Amino acid sequence: MNHQSQNQILSKIIELDLIITRSIINGHNPSENDQYKEQREELNTLRCVYFGYETKYCNKKVFKK
Using CB atoms within 10 Å of the CB of residue 61, give its burial: 0 to 12 exposed, 13 to 18 middle, 19+ buried: exposed
pTM of the model: 0.81
Q: What pLDDT score does 59 carry?
A: 59
Mean pLDDT calculated for residue range 46-64: 77
The alpha-helical segments, DSSP class H, found in 2-62 are 3-25, 37-51
CA–CA distance, 49 with 42 (Å, rounded to integer)? 11
Q: What is the pLDDT of residues 7-45, one digit of tens each?
A: 999 999 999 999 999 999 999 999 989 999 999 999 999
